[in-house]
A and B are shown apart, each in its own frame.
Chain A
Amino acid sequence: MEPIIEFKNFSFKYRSQKEPTLKDINLKIYPGEKVLIIGPSGSGKSTLAHCINGLVPFSYSGEITGEYTIAGKDPKKLDIFELSKSVGTVLQDTDGQFIGLTVAEDLAFALENDEVPTKELHERVDKIAKEVDVKNLLEHAPTELSGGQKQRVSMGGVMISDVDILLLDEPLANLDPATGKHTMELIDEINKSKGTTIVVIEHRLEDALFRGADRIVVVGDGKIVSDSTPDELICKDILEEQGIREPLYVTAIKHAGGKLTEEMTPSRIDTIDVSSVKELVKSWHDKNAVFCEEEKGETILEGKDIYFSYDGKEKVLENVNFSVSKGEMLAIVGKNGAGKSTLSSLICGFNKPTSGELLFRGKDMSDLSIAERGEKIGLVMQNPNHMISKPMIFDEVALGLSIRGIPEKEIKERVEKILRVCGLYPFRNWPISALSFGQKKRVTIASILVMDPEIMILDEPTAGQDYRHYTEIMNFLKDINEKLGVTIIMITHDMHLMLEYTKRALVLADGKILADTTPARVLTDETLSDKAYLKKTSLYDLAEMCDIEDPTAFCETFIAFEQRER
């Protein structure tokens, strides 16, 4: 069979760069295959995707050496439009990809551009809407859709042109774990029922493997470092070398001293055969079991009977009670729209609760202005570009102080101190535009820390970060938490984050607090994790398979072990 995508000794160099981003790529993908391309940020995996869909060289120009064919044609001789008939791309940012004013128009967009008559448009939109299950949403505007629904529309919008190849760029990045599961199911269905070739770019390996894959291609530093079946890959050390997170249950087995072999089919938790490592895992758990001692500091922030509604009718928050102790690292979890962001906006004073009170160190905060609260409680937004308003790093970090009229000498001292804490001191005179996304995030955290807040709220601190950067940011936050004693509240749906870095999770669902317990308990309780749109962790399944009585305790053992090792 002829490959549908083929790269032969292929290299690519962006016009603005000295070194080639892709080096000597040899890759064959056959029709009907489902291939996962993984690699850390900056490895060149997105550039590889751009070569497949034609953004390289048609939108991002550069120098190509070697040969490649897509759907049997030489892309250099086509244009991006011709290529888009064979390759459908679903971008990571489904908000940006949603072009139409309504779902129906967005689905029709590609066909409209191809001058398909209006009558036929309606027929084909109806058909594709059924396939991606958005039939009852056709009249909806993008603002009325959830992240998962938007993504389904994006998929429909490219599949409507009967593409041979569906290319998905980090489809899981903006979704909560439960929705991510549905996405992988849908991709699998499309692959099986229509025979569409699927190429998924991801760095969340465990989630991407939920429904398996035919092959995994690992890209590292512009080269293909591995091309094998998932089972083969899991047994090798390549993941660790490349800074890609292996599935949690795999890590746990390795901690226990178990050896993985291909025969165990270890790439999926639902296929793995643990009989050979069962006893090892069990005894490891018994040896390392921990008892979490409950130590509680003084209460710093408290919410009492909070109700909130934007329009006086629909309750966004209902009977919310919570308390946060000094020095805690706490996660607020729940699906989009559960009220997480609303709660943080009440704490920061952007909105006022309809009833109930918020206490800071026992004092009601309702009389404090936004700026006054900002000195005690700092907020770091998800997108650093939403916060940065100065061209230079020093000025950006100094902004909060200079606005408060603090003398210049003191500003300089405080800013430099914080820049050192944040590892940004060497860059202090750099323009912010020269920084990477992760570094920008640090700048925004520094610009909040400089005001000496007692509590810091972070909205999805690790969104869009690969494992290495994720670890960097989280260790940094942990440091701040320990060294400066700043209480840290994180709004997140990253299960790893809550499991590894927080001791407590508030679960919000439909505006109510559903649970206030340890992350391990949330992620091993199926009803609870379902309601929070999270996913039961694979550690739970592993514990069950190994006949460990208390899977939650196993989870805690694992986390404690990881923290000790790190």
Chain B
Amino acid sequence: MSRVLSYEEKNTWIHRLCGVTKLIFFLLWSLTSMLTYDTRVLLVMLVLSIVILRASKTEWRQIGTVFKFILFFLFINLIAIYVLAPNQGTLIYGTDTYVCHLFKGHDLNQEMIFYEINVFLKYMTVVPTVFIFLVTTNPSEFAASMNRVGISYKIGYAIAISLRYIPDIQSDFVKIKNAQQARGIEMAKKAPFFQRIKHICAILFPLVFSSMDRIDVVSNAMELRGFGKHKKRTWYMGKALKKSDYIVVAFVVLFSAVALFVTFRDGSRFYNPFI
């Protein structure tokens, strides 16, 4: 599980990009996808994100588990939309083109199908870029990238250091859980709600307290090596922006602008093929 969605070193132009470039790309790309319901824009974005995913040489084993997980919830989401709001399509597109009857109060029409396809597309355009960002950006570069876009290095480092200690805390958690289970604290689902809360506390308290001890050590260690001395710091993993970085940023800015222009030109976020 630890290997899933984690950074893997590969030699592609995407891996060679700066972390900050990928961060900007990801943020603008998701923003665009969130705002638009224009099927034409979404289709273009979908094709592009698949192309980029291929270019990053991301393999199925890196993302497969999580992708299936996302798909599962996406389908639940789509079904829920239909069950709760079967006429959403008609509300948006203004027509009602009957397809078939499913069950009480729920007819299926083309507008609804089309709306659901759009929702599906939106997810599918964002998900690959999340994957790309996570599996092609060295976590060591996160802090440096955030510092680059103007966030204080102390905040950036706070994130880096939590990435550093997550595995330690995970292993502490497993150890504590095991030891408490051996003492008879069952995590069974049968137990009444309050009892379960109590049992969870029996694991969380030791975890929190032992983590506090660690914080003390870590902050001493950081201070003893001069962390926080200056207003700025340099980064071992910092990369200088290259031509390709500027090109990518320029592209994503331009693309978002055009995409949003196309989307909102007729005054609506939706592309309507029914009229």
Contact = CB atoms under 8 A, between A and B. Distances in A.
B234 A158 contact: no
B181 A374 contact: yes
Given A91-B221, A385-B206, A385-B210, A115 B183 contact: no
A389 B180 contact: yes
A55 interface: yes
Contact of B236 (A96, A114, A121, A345): A121
Given A99-B222, A370-B181, A386 B176 contact: yes
Contact of A143 (B167, B176, B185): B167
Interface in A109-137: 109-118, 121-122, 125
B221 A53 contact: no
B14 to A, nearest CB: 20
A547 interface: no
Interface in B93-109: none
Contacts of A161: 225-226
Interface stretch (B42-50, B67-75, B212-220): B212-220
Contacts of B183: 371, 374, 399-400, 403, 447-448, 451
A158 B164 CA distance: 19
B167 to A, nearest CB: 5
A374 B184 contact: yes
A81 B214 contact: no
Interface stretch (A100-108, A273-281, A493-501): A100-108
Contacts of A448: 183
Contacts of A388: 205-206, 209
A379 B179 contact: yes
Contact of B223 (A59, A85, A121, A379): A59
Contact of B182 (A96, A121, A370, A389): A370
Nearest to A448: B183
A115 B209 CA distance: 34
Nearest to A403: B184
Contact of B229 (A114, A379, A451): A114
A104 B229 contact: no
Contacts of B167: 141, 143
Contact of A81 (B186, B205, B229): B229
B222 A386 contact: no
Interface in A56-77: 58-59
B186 A371 contact: yes
Contact of B140 (A105, A385, A403): A105
A154 to B, nearest CB: 9
Interface of B: 139-140, 160-161, 163-164, 167-168, 172, 175-176, 178-186, 201-203, 205-206, 209-210, 213-214, 217-218, 220-230, 232-238
14 contacts: A84-B223, A100-B140, A105-B237, A109-B222, A112-B236, A114-B229, A122-B236, A158-B225, A348-B178, A370-B182, A379-B178, A385-B213, A387-B176, A388-B206
Closest 8 CB pairs of A and B: A96-B217, A374-B182, A108-B236, A113-B226, A110-B225, A389-B202, A370-B181, A81-B229
